[in-house]
Structure 1
Amino acid sequence: DLVAFDLYSRAKSLMLTTSFSAIGGQNLRKAVDLLEQALARDSSFFLAQCQLAYAHDNLYFLGLDHTPARLAAAQAAVEAAFRLQPDAGEAHLARAEHLYRGYLDYDGALAELEIARKSLPNDPRVFELTGYIARRRGQQEEALRNLQRAIELDPRNFFTLQQIALSYVNLRRYSEEAAVLDRALSIKPDDVETKVVRALLPLDWKADTRPLHQALDEIRRSDPEAIKSVADTWFLCALAERDGAAAESALVALDDNVFGNDAIQFRRDFGEGLIARMTKDGAKARAAFTAARAEQQKRVDGQPDYGPAICVLAVMDAALGRKEEALREGQRAIDLLPMEKDSINGAHMIEFFAISAAWVGEKDLACDKLAAALRLPGTLSYGQLKLLPYWDPLRGYPRFEKIVADLAPKE
């Protein structure tokens, strides 16, 4: 069925946008819709069933829809794939993705990958997922080895290059990140999201916002519609430059999408609170944070053991001066998602606990957690600490200033 295949192909393209795009969640939901249309036309379309499982799993895994219903939909798609072709390597690959993304079951996923490898011996996807599992386990060099092997097998795979760049971000190896992003841009020179991530690099590395500001201005001038896919980074740039008007415009472009780090996700109400806090409008900040907190409480009620949602609630309680609740929730988030379970989001639990502690006046606790976060691989950078308003309560505090100075690039 050519129509079904076209729907499947469009869905696959949308799913390759999740690395850097602010509208990745929107694209994943569109992909689910397209794949369901394809399967409605041809219920025996095995590869569409595998991709449907992957789309559902990613919505769950990335925290965009971390609900039992989404996890059950992914499980149903995996089971349907096995009914169609129980011995296919792709079916075992789909189950490996599901165990990894749905349950953080690394051993189970690796066992499925070993089965998949028998019929897919040189398939880059096997090495790619092996790399992602190693990365989540904190085995950064092992992760890079597997991702490099995947790119050797598929040298023009743009998505894999983006993921290798993310590994270098986590290791704070910015010159190597730059080289990989430049390679990616030689393949797709007009990719807006990757151009913006390349321009973001000097902000992280050297606290220099100018390349990012220029790149965003160029996108707004030449392709205004495309700014939506990088609106989260525009918002970050505006905060770093203390430009309240630009931050407001970025939030309008972001619309119902999220900003933050990995599974730590904030929405527009919280962003408005941040801007008001930055511009010293206390009443407006309190109203925005109160509205954001009410919505976040509903998310926590629906997933009471999900660390990232509780971590976000802690930051909102800190913003509202609810000290005891913020510190209790921040610690609970760390307990629920420790580094051993997920090294990437585990590091974010510690980082955002530091922000919560700073916001409620616990400066030494904040510095303890910040120092702990910086000992780990992660996206927290010199530029973020130097420029972003999250860290303003610590400015001038000697321990914090020493942490920032020690992180500064050595010219």
Structure 2
Amino acid sequence: MIGNPRKERLTAATPMSAELSPDLPLEIAHLLLIDVVGYSKLLVNDQVESLQQLNRIVRSTDCFRAAEAKDKLIRLPTGDGMALLFFESLEQPAHCALEIAQALQNHPEIQVRMGIHSGPINQVPDVNDRVNIAGAGINVAQRVLDCGDVGHILLSKHVADDLGEYRHWQPYLRDLGECEVKHGLRLHLVNLCKDGLGNPQVPEKLKRRKRWKETAPIRPVVSPRWALVAALLLSGCALAISFTIFLRHRAIRSETFGSFTGAIPDKSIAVLPFENLSDDKQNAYFADGVQDEILTNLAKVADLKVISRTSVMQYKNSAERNLRAVGKALGVAHILEGTVQRVGGRVRVSAQLIDARTDGHLWAERYDRDIADVFAIENELAEQIVAKLKSKLSPQEKAAIEEKPTADLAAYDLYTRAKILIERSVFNEPREASLREAVRLLEQTSSRDPSFALAYYELAHAHDQLYWQQYDHTSQRLALADAAIQTLRRLQPDSGEAHLALAKHLYWGYLDYDRARQELAAAERALPNDSDCLLLLGYIDRRQGRWEASLKEMEHARTLDPRNILILKQIGLTHRQLRRYSDVIAVFDRALQLDPNDVAARSYRARVDLEQHAYTKRLHMHVETFLAQNPKAPQQISIDLVDLALFERDPAMAERTLSGLSYRYGTESVAFPQAWCDGRLALLRGDSAAAKVAFTEARKQLERTVREQPNNAAALIALGLVDAALGQKKDAIREGRRAIELFPVSKDAIDGSLFMEYLAAIYATSGKADAAIDQLAATAKIPGSLNYGELRLDPIWDPLRRDPRFDKIVALLAPK
């Protein structure tokens, strides 16, 4: 029992009868215990200040507020900390602990440790007739807490086992083994560390004390006999439910994804870039093609976990070939590396298979063949690897591996170059130029070999990206993607690539999420190691408002492509839509560890302070740092420059930096003409005449798009904003409402909420305060891009600033 705890709600403490009933009611609680390390050594004033600040942090967490709102939380002061008892989900204390750890990064003077357990408790009255807690659950939770050092978030084994049923927790749980605790009892502990939160070190108590061995006498932590019986009954029910869940999700728990302890599956491999030994360095693309084809062949084997190309290519030309470290970073037990040498009409391919856990060589082979036999070499090599790893190879997988992509090596070289350009366009500017060059190369490829199916897969993808990213958002571009997919389906009707290409096309080109999901189901069966399938499924879930499912799919994709910064950015943006800013910070911090120079990740990270607290300092620093390092490329941060000018009400830097340049502004879905920015910046200068000229030009461009594409909701909502700025109120409201009709939030959770926000801005600019307030209030209650900082700072909301109803909406989104 913890001394003098009490149950707090929104009201005062609840009196209870001092008379104990003979049979205390038993409940299962999910407990989070927190204490301040070194509390007794602090001065009294420091003790008080530390606890007050800790209380504020805990009360501000989403988990605390949500549980309290449902009256499903007990909070107990413990002298040097507190205990929180949740009753709905064992994930609640884990999420809450991570939120607290994130917030404490801004308060290094407060050093805490945390312990989590789930078990039976009783609510009993104390001497003051207030709620107190007794039972094995809280006793074990205290033992777990006592084992930790500063920063630790320790879990009891059975909590970790249950969390491990969810694959999004698995990478963050580290088994510490069993340790002796009070009275010679043993306790199995697990360490929770996620995105720099928690303490990854082994606790000092586990270092000092002898760990239990299998031969040691078993003295588990036990509950009183009556509690044990109840707990066993509950465990039996849980076991039956867990078995049902296991049957439904057995693929998720297969060894391909490892256990929650981070164990690396035996049948896992990364194919590192092969070294080009040819004198002609132009043959580097040829070496890349050899490695890519081997990787692609292995990835077709469902019994293997194969790391995606994006992650392994980061080791090209890398001095880091510490294979143990590489294996650990990629989560694989085996690594294939090799060399390629092409001389005239001959090719030599050397490969070696290495156990990344021991650095031991398992197998090596050298192939000296005619250049025309290179695909046969790749097929033989892949089948050798499958055999060495004792993986099952179905007849269909064997046939897929043995199928030649093309007989024309020049066509394959063009294809490889185009594929690399498409991959780079995801991360680097100039994206449009890279995509257009890829299209040119792929058209040459298909001209040389009209039966080269994979070339049409990449060609469709390039056309879809040019369309989706607003570089060429026309029906003609969609038709080009359609044609490439039709050819691919004619050549390989039921291939995984054919299904995946169509799924992408339906998603990006037609926003047909249900049909895209159907195609993905077929694609996944043929492409079991393709992270794009999982990532696209995450996109679809996100668009359809299945936010948690979306995050799970993206985390799953990351196990196959762990160094792909795009996946991390998408996870971060999903948390951003949910306004989980601590998670946004953690994810983008991890992304920047992978690539400190990624401009988008730096921008998103800097914007957290803006969106959560209305602070522009970090964004300003990001802009200044980028311009100092890249003075000739301000277009890459045009959105940051314009937004900073608007939010700080100072257009000088943006106008000076972007003067005479062509740049893009808007979201992924809604692209505004540059003239829209010119108009808004002119308004900041007080130059209404220049603003009208700019808005008129923006209207001309958007009106042309809407005339050609009357159901283009993104163009309609942008036109509505421009018309509102020009004072054409009726047209503006009609256009905004039409966009909402085309894309309600029920159809698209991302664009639907964005269009709701923009419609509120149209109402505000048009002087329709009541409609603007109603629209904003509805938008603030759902996930979306609307945030506290922009409401506080963006001049577009100035017409509402004296309305107390607007203040309430701002307060709703304010940091708590």
TM-score (normalizing by structure 1):
0.93
Deviations 1:157-200 (A, max 9, x none): 11111111111111111111111111111111222222222112
Identify the residue that residue 206 of structure 1 maps to in structure 2.
Answer: 613
Q: What is the CA–CA distance in structure 1 between the aligned matches of 2:615 and 2:493, rounded to whole Å?
A: 53
Distance 1:371-1:87 versus aligned 2 partners, 3 A rule: same
Deviations 1:291-314 (A, max 9, x none): 111111101101011111111111
Query: Within 5 A, what are the aligned runs for 1:164-313?
Result: 164-252=571-659, 255-313=661-719
**Offset at 1:327?**
1.0
The one of 400, 404, 423 equivalent to 1:13 is 423
Kept in 1, the 8 Å contact 2:764–2:799? The answer is yes
**Offset at 1:257?**
3.5
Structure 2 SS opposite 1:224: coil
Identify the residue that residue 778 of structure 2 maps to in structure 1.
Answer: 372
Q: What is the CA–CA distance in structure 2 between the aligned matches of 1:26 and 1:395, rounded to whole Å?
A: 43
Identify the residue that residue 160 of structure 2 maps to in structure 1.
Answer: none
Deviations 1:82-109 (A, max 9, x none): 2332232111111111112222222211
**Offset at 1:40?**
4.2
Structure 2 SS opposite 1:16: helix
Distance 1:87-1:309 versus aligned 2 partners, 3 A rule: same
Identify the residue that residue 358 of structure 1 maps to in structure 2.
Answer: 764
Report percent identity of matched pairs: 44
Kept in 2, the 8 Å contact 1:7–1:38? The answer is no
**Offset at 1:287?**
1.1
Identify the residue that residue 393 of structure 1 maps to in structure 2.
Answer: 799
Query: Within 5 A, what are the aligned runs for 1:107-186?
Result: 107-186=514-593
Identify the residue that residue 50 of structure 1 maps to in structure 2.
Answer: 457
Kept in 2, the 8 Å contact 1:256–1:267? The answer is no
Kept in 2, the 8 Å contact 1:89–1:120? The answer is yes
Q: What is the CA–CA distance in structure 1 between the aligned matches of 2:592 and 2:561, rounded to whole Å?
A: 16
Structure 2 SS opposite 1:121: coil
Kept in 2, the 8 Å contact 1:25–1:257? The answer is no
Q: What is the CA–CA distance in structure 2 between the aligned matches of 1:31 and 1:351, rounded to whole Å?
A: 37
Distance 1:203-1:114 versus aligned 2 partners, 3 A rule: same
**Offset at 1:38?**
4.3
Kept in 2, the 8 Å contact 1:344–1:378? The answer is yes
Q: What is the CA–CA distance in structure 1 between the aligned matches of 2:508 and 2:747, rounded to whole Å?
A: 12
Which amino acid in structure 2 is aligned with residue 256 of structure 1? S
Kept in 1, the 8 Å contact 2:577–2:783? The answer is yes
Identify the residue that residue 83 of structure 1 maps to in structure 2.
Answer: 490
Q: What is the CA–CA distance in structure 2 between the aligned matches of 1:238 and 1:73, rounded to whole Å?
A: 39
Q: What is the CA–CA distance in structure 2 between the aligned matches of 1:109 and 1:16, rounded to whole Å?
A: 21
Q: What is the CA–CA distance in structure 2 between the aligned matches of 1:314 and 1:193, rounded to whole Å?
A: 28
Kept in 2, the 8 Å contact 1:7–1:37? The answer is no
Kept in 2, the 8 Å contact 1:318–1:326? The answer is yes
Structure 2 SS opposite 1:305: coil
Identify the residue that residue 94 of structure 1 maps to in structure 2.
Answer: 501
Kept in 2, the 8 Å contact 1:319–1:359? The answer is yes
The structure richer in strand per residue is: 2
Higher relative contact order (CA 8 A, sep 6+): 1
**Offset at 1:151?**
0.5
Identify the residue that residue 331 of structure 1 maps to in structure 2.
Answer: 737
Query: Relative to structure 2, which stretch is displaced further, 256-265 or 216-225?
Result: 256-265
Which amino acid in structure 2 is aligned with residue 175 of structure 1? S
Q: What is the CA–CA distance in structure 2 between the aligned matches of 1:29 and 1:330, rounded to whole Å?
A: 33
Q: What is the CA–CA distance in structure 1 between the aligned matches of 2:656 and 2:441, rounded to whole Å?
A: 31
Kept in 2, the 8 Å contact 1:235–1:250? The answer is no
Kept in 1, the 8 Å contact 2:717–2:736? The answer is yes
Kept in 2, the 8 Å contact 1:95–1:112? The answer is yes
Q: What is the CA–CA distance in structure 2 between the aligned matches of 1:15 and 1:91, rounded to whole Å?
A: 22
**Offset at 1:24?**
4.7
Q: What is the CA–CA distance in structure 1 between the aligned matches of 2:572 and 2:578, rounded to whole Å?
A: 10
Structure 2 SS opposite 1:338: coil
Kept in 1, the 8 Å contact 2:531–2:557? The answer is yes
Deviations 1:283-334 (A, max 9, x none): 1111111111111110110101111111111111100111111111111111
Query: Relative to structure 2, which stretch is displaced further, 201-210 or 46-55?
Result: 46-55
Distance 1:207-1:31 versus aligned 2 partners, 3 A rule: farther
Kept in 1, the 8 Å contact 2:432–2:471? The answer is yes
Kept in 2, the 8 Å contact 1:307–1:333? The answer is yes
Deviations 1:132-167 (A, max 9, x none): 111111111111111111012221111111111111
Kept in 2, the 8 Å contact 1:358–1:394? The answer is yes
Identify the residue that residue 317 of structure 1 maps to in structure 2.
Answer: 723
- Between the two proteins, the alignment pairs up a number of residues equal to 406
Identify the residue that residue 208 of structure 2 maps to in structure 1.
Answer: none
Q: What is the CA–CA distance in structure 2 between the aligned matches of 1:64 and 1:374, rounded to whole Å?
A: 31
Q: What is the CA–CA distance in structure 2 between the aligned matches of 1:377 and 1:27, rounded to whole Å?
A: 34
**Offset at 1:79?**
1.2
Q: What is the CA–CA distance in structure 1 between the aligned matches of 2:709 and 2:422, rounded to whole Å?
A: 29
Kept in 1, the 8 Å contact 2:419–2:458? The answer is no
Structure 2 residues not aligned, in runs of 5+:
1-409
Structure 1 SS opposite 2:579: coil
The structure richer in helix per residue is: 1
**Offset at 1:217?**
0.8
**Offset at 1:58?**
2.7
Structure 1 SS opposite 2:632: helix
Q: What is the CA–CA distance in structure 1 between the aligned matches of 2:635 and 2:622, rounded to whole Å?
A: 14
**Offset at 1:34?**
4.3
Aligned-residue CA RMSD in angstroms? Answer: 2.0
Structure 1 SS opposite 2:545: coil
Deviations 1:347-396 (A, max 9, x none): 11111111111111111111111111222211121111111122122222
Which amino acid in structure 1 is aligned with residue 798 of structure 2? D
**Offset at 1:5?**
3.7
Distance 1:122-1:7 versus aligned 2 partners, 3 A rule: closer
Distance 1:353-1:191 versus aligned 2 partners, 3 A rule: same
Which amino acid in structure 1 is aligned with residue 662 of structure 2? D
Query: Relative to structure 2, which stretch is displaced further, 389-398 or 289-298?
Result: 389-398
Identify the residue that residue 145 of structure 2 maps to in structure 1.
Answer: none
Is 2:814 the counterpart of 1:408? yes
**Offset at 1:235?**
1.5
Identify the residue that residue 381 of structure 1 maps to in structure 2.
Answer: 787
Query: Relative to structure 2, which stretch is displaced further, 378-387 or 9-18?
Result: 9-18
Q: What is the CA–CA distance in structure 2 between the aligned matches of 1:33 and 1:381, rounded to whole Å?
A: 42
Instruction: Specify the structure having the higher radius of gyration (Cα).
Output: 2
**Offset at 1:75?**
0.7
Kept in 1, the 8 Å contact 2:638–2:664? The answer is no
Q: What is the CA–CA distance in structure 2 between the aligned matches of 1:394 and 1:249, rounded to whole Å?
A: 30
